[in-house]
């Protein structure tokens, strides 16, 4: 099987297609009818909280779990019923899973040797050179630091030139500084080898900086998929709006809609937003705006058709963080609002009465949902225990 598909390995990655894939464990559904297509050579990130089903999705693709329903296609070929060792897919495990009884070189050459490649050792050295660890080739994994082990795990997977490389939170165990550095290296290696990368993470910053396309997963489903900026600027669900960065959200009712503008009643106020930026045009709606889009002023700004205005409110907290200051503003009748201001002027002190305004073009409309579901514990073990 492996030899037969040798051509697949030589290529620069292949398309991955999931068709209606589901995985049901006794008592709960980990992956719920997911369909997606990842084009060859792209860097795709699956982002979500722990227990959202992203790791299970990865294990389904690698063959370590069998799907309950659906099909998996790589390069257009159905591989749903093949075993992991028959798939041209490799994984960089979260805990690295380096074989402790083998040297670094033996680890990296393992997959090549299983496929009976003649120049296994030579290729393994090349892969180690790629991650700048060839001088460690004869050491055992326990003699390496966490960051080095991570790079060996990457080399061990990349050396096989798989059609698809799966990364299961590969940077999760590293400290912040090393993680940022590895993110850059990983991205560089991806563009150098040109493989298709599928990266699973719960770190939204990591997903946005590294991936071409991000899919946000929640409770076994994909909530939204797109380029990082697109997801951030125009979230389609409450989950995406709150999980990917912060949002100020106002629940209301649509009171009027034209072709270009939707008017929403939020308490006694009316907010307007562009129709093309709203997922719904009638009934219950949640209007949102990102904290950095809001301007904070002591005086009431002049009314303008194109700007949304809220106030007056009272600053309850101002936390300085270098480039910006985060304000919490209590507005009567609304929940506490979060505002990020660049530190280019004076800092407003707590207790000050302020007005908040923003360009209505930045507002977005999403379906109104029951609140607080994001806070509920969605970890796999808890779900399993509840199922019991």
Partner 1 sequence: MKFGKLLLPLYGVLALIYLMVPIAYTIMFSFNDSKRTNIIWNGFTFNNWLNVCDAQGVCQAFANSIIIATVSTIVATVLGTAIAIALVRYKFKGRAATTLLLFMPMATPEVVLGAGLAAQFLNAGMPKGMLTVILAHIMFCISFVVVTVRARVAGLDPKLEEAGRDLYANPSQVWWKVTFPLLLPGIVAGALLAFALSFDDFIITNFNRGPVDTLPSFIYTAASRGIPAEANVLASAVFLLAIAGVVTAQVGGAIRRKKLGITP
Partner 2 sequence: MAIGAFSHGPTGTVVSAESQKKSRVAWFLLLPGIVYLLLFFLTPLFSLVLTSFKTAPPAAFIGEYVYAFRWENYVEVLGMYGEHSLRSFTYAAIATLIALAIGYPLAYFIGVRLRPYPLLQSLALVLVIAPFFISFLLRTVAWKQLLADQGWIVGTMKAFAILPPDAHITGTSISVIFGLAYNFIPFMTLPLYTSIERLDLRLIEASNDLYANPMTTFRKVTIPLTLPGIVSGTLLTFIPAAGDYVNASANFLGSTQTSMIGNVIESNFLVLQNYPHAASMSLILMGAILVLVSAYVFKSGTDDLL
Q: Tell me whether residue 84 or residue 312 sits nearer to partner 1 (CB atom).
A: 84
- Least separation in angstroms between CB 110 and partner 1: 5
388 makes contact, choosing from partner 1, partner 2, none, with CB < 5 to 8 Å by partner type, with partner 2
| Whole-angstrom distance, CA of residue 211 vs CA of residue 304 | 38
- Residue 213 binding target from partner 2, partner 1, none, CB below 5 to 8 Å by type: none
Helix (H, G, I), strand (E, B), or coil: what is residue 354? strand
Q: How far, in Å, are 212, 275, 291 from residue 233 at the CA level?
A: 15, 15, 12
∠ Cα 251 257 260 (to 5°): 110
CA atoms of 31 and 57, how far apart (whole Å): 7
Interface segment toward partner 2; rule CB under 8 A; list 23-31, 180-188, 278-286, 313-321: 23-31
Per the CB < 8 A criterion, the answer to whether 338 and 324 are in contact is no
> Which secondary-structure segment (H or E) carries 17?
strand 16-25
387 binds, among partner 2, partner 1, none (CB under 5 to 8 A by kind): partner 2
Nearer to partner 1, 37 or 83 (CB): 83
Residue 72 half-sphere exposure, CB side, CA atoms within 13 Å? 26
Which CB, 102 or 265, lies closer to partner 1? 102
Quote the least distance from Cβ 114 to partner 1, whole Å. 4
Of 336 and 381, nearer to partner 2 (C-beta) is 381
Q: Is residue 301 within 8 Å of residue 260, measured between CB atoms?
A: no
Interactions with partner 2, residue window 41-70 (CB under 8 A): 66, 68
Please pick, from the candidates 36, 73, 275, 384, the single residue that binds partner 2 as defined by CB under 8 A. Answer: 384
Three-class secondary structure of residue 381 per DSSP: helix
Residue 142 interacts with partner 2 (CB under 8 A): yes or no: no
Compare residues 111 and 220 and give the one whose CB is closer to partner 1: 111
Least distance between partner 2 and beta carbon 388 (Å): 5
Using rule CB under 8 A, residue 360 touches partner 1? no
User: Min. distance of Cβ 74 from partner 1 in angstroms?
Assistant: 14
> Please, which residues have CB within 8 angstroms of residue 172's CB and are 6 or more apart in sequence?
94, 201, 202, 203
Tell me, residue by residue from 147 to 186, as one string, x for binding to partner 1 by CB under 8 A and - for no binding: ---------x---x--------------------------
Q: By C-beta, is 142 or 260 nearer to partner 1?
A: 142
Pick the closer one to partner 1 by CB: 93 or 340. Answer: 93
CB 249 within 8 A of CB 237: no
# residues near partner 2 by CB under 8 A: 11
Residue 143 interaction partner, one of partner 1, partner 2, none, beta carbon < 5-8 Å per kind: partner 1
CB atoms within 10 A of CB 384: 15
Contact status: 27 vs partner 2 (CB under 8 A): yes
Among 41, 51, 63, 291, binds partner 1 (CB under 8 A): 63
Binding status of residue 385 toward partner 2 by CB under 8 A: yes
Question: What is the 3 state secondary structure string of 269-315?
Answer: EEEEEEHHHECCCCCEEEEEECHHHCEEECCCCCCCCCEEEEEEEEE
The four Cα atoms 222, 206, 64, 194 give a dihedral, to 10 degrees, of 100
- What's 335's DSSP letter? P
Residues of this chain, 64-123, that bind partner 1 according to CB under 8 A: 64, 83-86, 89-91, 93-95, 97-101, 110-111, 114-115
CB of 206 to partner 2, least distance (A): 30
* 142 contributes a contact to partner 1 by CB under 8 A: yes
Tell me whether residue 175 is exposed, middle or buried, using C-beta atoms within 10 angstroms of its C-beta: 0 to 12, 13 to 18, 19 or more.
exposed
Distance (Å, rounded) from C-alpha 153 to C-alpha 225? 28
Point out which residues bind partner 2 (CB under 8 A): 24-28, 66, 68, 384-385, 387-388
Point out which residues bind partner 1 (CB under 8 A): 2, 62-64, 83-86, 89-91, 93-95, 97-101, 110-111, 114-115, 140, 142-143, 156, 160
């Amino acid at each position: 099987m492996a030899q037969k598909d040798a051509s697949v390995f030589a290529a620069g990655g292949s398309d991955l297609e999931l068709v209606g894939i589901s995985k049901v464990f006794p008592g709960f559904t980990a992956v719920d009818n997911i369909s997606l297509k990842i084009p060859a050579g792209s860097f795709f990130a699956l982002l979500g909280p722990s227990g959202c089903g992203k790791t299970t999705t990865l294990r389904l693709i690698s063959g370590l779990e069998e799907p309950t329903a659906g099909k998996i296609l790589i390069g257009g070929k159905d591989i749903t019923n093949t075993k992991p060792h028959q798939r041209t897919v490799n994984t960089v495990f979260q805990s690295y899973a380096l074989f402790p009884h083998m040297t670094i070189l033996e680890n990296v050459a393992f997959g090549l040797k299983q496929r009976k490649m003649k120049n296994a050792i030579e290729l393994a050295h090349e892969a180690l050179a790629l991650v700048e660890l060839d001088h460690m080739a004869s050491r055992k994994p326990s003699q390496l630091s966490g960051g080095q082990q991570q790079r060996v795990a990457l080399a061990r997977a990349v050396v096989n030139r798989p059609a698809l490389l799966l990364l299961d939170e590969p940077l999760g165990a590293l400290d912040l500084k090393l993680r940022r550095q590895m993110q850059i290296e990983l991205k560089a290696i991806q563009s150098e080898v040109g493989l298709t990368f599928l990266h699973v993470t719960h770190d939204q910053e990591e997903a946005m900086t590294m991936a071409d396309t991000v899919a946000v997963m929640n409770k076994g489903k994909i909530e939204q998929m797109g380029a990082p900026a697109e997801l951030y600027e125009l979230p389609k669900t409450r989950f995406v709006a709150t999980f990917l960065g912060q949002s100020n959200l106002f629940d209301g009712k649509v009171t009027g809609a034209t072709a270009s503008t939707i008017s929403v009643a939020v308490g006694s106020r009316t907010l307007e937003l562009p129709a093309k930026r709203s997922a719904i045009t009638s009934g219950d709606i949640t209007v949102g705006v990102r904290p950095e889009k809001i301007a904070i002023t002591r005086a009431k700004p002049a009314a303008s058709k194109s700007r949304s205005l809220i106030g007056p409110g009272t600053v309850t907290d101002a936390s300085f963080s270098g480039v910006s200051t985060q304000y919490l503003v209590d507005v009567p009748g609304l929940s506490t609002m979060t505002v990020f201001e660049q530190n280019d002027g004076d800092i407003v002190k707590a207790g000050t009465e302020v007005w908040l305004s923003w360009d209505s073009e930045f507002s977005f409309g999403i379906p109104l949902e029951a609140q607080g579901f994001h806070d509920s514990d969605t970890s796999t073990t808890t779900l399993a225990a509840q199922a019991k």
